Amino acid sequence: MTILLQVLEQSYTPTTPWERRKFTFVNADKIVGMRLDGQCGVWLDLSRPGESQRLAHTALPEEAVTFLLTAFSKIAECTDIGGSWVIGHDGVHIESLVATRFPPRNSRVDNDELLARAWL
């Protein structure tokens, strides 16, 4: 079971247009800490010393804690259900957090074949 959480690459500013922002995904198992920067930023600390990723940059500072808690609520839901998931968002709005099963259940590819394809 793998849960991948979308994070923002740190090389953009809050005024960068959405189309030019870059995203990456981190394995939720590697998250060891979470923090707010006191403004609008939501950060995840990962298992490697000194490694952190920006989860979001909310429109208002008071929304940052809700974004953080909602993201971890999604991780908990996915863990309870089981299987592999991708959790994505737009990096700003709480309501954009969405979890999607991966691969989709209607996929006709078995797990071993999917893993083999991923390594190609």
What domain count does the chain have? 1
CA distance 75 to 83: 12
Chain segment 29-79, per-residue pLDDT in tens = 999 999 999 999 999 999 999 899 999 999 999 999 999 999 999 999 999
Helix/strand/coil for 38: coil
Chain segment 8-32, per-residue pLDDT in tens = 886 667 677 777 878 899 999 999 9
Domain that holds residue 109: 3-118
pTM of the model: 0.80
